[in-house]
Amino acid sequence: MPQLRLDRFLSGQLPEVSRSDAKELLKKGLVTVDGVTVKRYDHKLDPEKAVVAVSGNVITYREHLYIMLNKPSGVVCAVRDRVTPTVMELLPPKMRRQGLFPAGRLDKDSVGFVLLTDDGELAHRMLSPNSHVPKEYFVRLEKPVTEDVAELFRAGMTIDGGEKCLPAELEICEHNIECFVTLHEGKFHQIKRMFDATDNTVLYLRRIRIGGVILDDSLEEGEARLLEENEIKGLLCYD
Ligand code: URA
């Protein structure tokens, strides 16, 4: 692992700590590396091996952040937007880090699981047209849906403009106006367009799963938490 400067390590791992705050902490003698107080900001360390603590609290090194956000309606999946609030603005300060972005999009009026990360390689793998990471949605419709539609989804539908979709799963539930849909790709407004093509309308759409990771139902809309190690593996095991 390349060596990292201590002030960079601190400001990179502790989002509420700027580079100058880091230098202050060091000057005050509050930082230890492998149990020894270090005051020099340009002290070099191997972030994978060194045990760094601030005021006795050990910092767990994370090369990348993976965040599960329960997106509410009315915010956009973008890093910044001039008019509409973005998913980034919902993050508590301690989760903010340079380079974070939403890996995949939900429409402004859709809700549910959005993955935020600064791991460009993972995002690229998940977003590439060849990636078939399954994403599952809970959908409420205007009109009842029938098994014929499930068959159309299974066969791979053609939607407006002649776009061919990969086979998708549709599981019908409550009064036939609620269902679960699993997609293996992510075309623009895909689920809405698939139901439009069957003369139905999506009234409510919530993403509940990405790959092997299920949206945590203890997260209120607008709340976020870091993914656990086993959940990160649940994202990486798909191609
Ligand atoms: N399909 C849609 O139509 N909208 C979304 O936000 C996600 C999938």
So what's the pLDDT on residue 238? 67
Q: Which of 77, 138, 190 to mutate to test the pocket of ligand 1 (most atoms within 8 A of CB)?
A: 190
Of 21, 19, 45, 23, give the one whose Cα is nearest residue 34: 45
Residue 220 burial (CB count, 10 A): 8
Give tens-digit pLDDT for 46-62.
Answer: 999 999 999 999 998 98
Does ligand 1 have an atom closer than 6 angstroms to the CB of 139? no
Q: How far is the CA of 214 from the centre of ligand 1 (A)?
A: 17
DSSP H helices, the chain, are 6-13, 19-27, 120-127, 147-155, 190-196, 229-236
157: CA distance to ligand 1 center in Å?
Answer: 16
Residue 122 phi, psi dihedral angles, 5° rounding: -65, -45
| Closest-lying ligand 1 atom to the alpha carbon of residue 207 | 7
Atom of ligand 1 nearest to the CA of 135: 8
| Statement: residue 40 has pLDDT above 70 | yes
Atom of ligand 1 nearest to the CA of 183: 8
> What mean pLDDT, rounded, does the chain reach?
93
Of 195 and 14, which is predicted with more confidence?
A: 195
CA 175 to chain centre: 32
Instruction: Reply yes or no on whether 107 is catalytic.
Output: yes
Residues 223, 125: Cα–Cα separation, whole Å? 26
- In this structure, the chain runs to a length of 239
Closest CA to 117 of 61, 66, 62, 70: 66
Residue whose structure tokens are 């329960």: 70
The residue among 187, 151, 153 whose CA lies nearest residue 168 is 153
> DSSP letter string over 150-189?
HHHHHH--EEGGGEEPPP-EEEEEGGGTEEEEEESS--TT
pLDDT at residue 237 in the model:
74
The yes-or-no verdict on residue 32 having pLDDT over 70 is yes
Question: Which residue, chain included where needed, has tokens 């699993």?
Answer: 182
What single DSSP character describes residue 86? B
pLDDT at 11 over 80: yes
State the catalytic residue, choosing from 21, 81, 107, 196.
107
Kindly report, residue by residue over 91-136, the tens digit of the pLDDT: 998 888 889 999 999 999 999 999 999 999 999 888 887 788 999 9
Beta bridge partners of 206: 111, 138
**Any atom of ligand 1 within 6 Å of the Cβ of 190:** yes
pTM equals: 0.88
Is the per-residue pLDDT at 2 higher than 80? Answer: no
User: What digits encode the pLDDT tens for the residues 187-207?
Assistant: 999 999 999 999 999 999 999
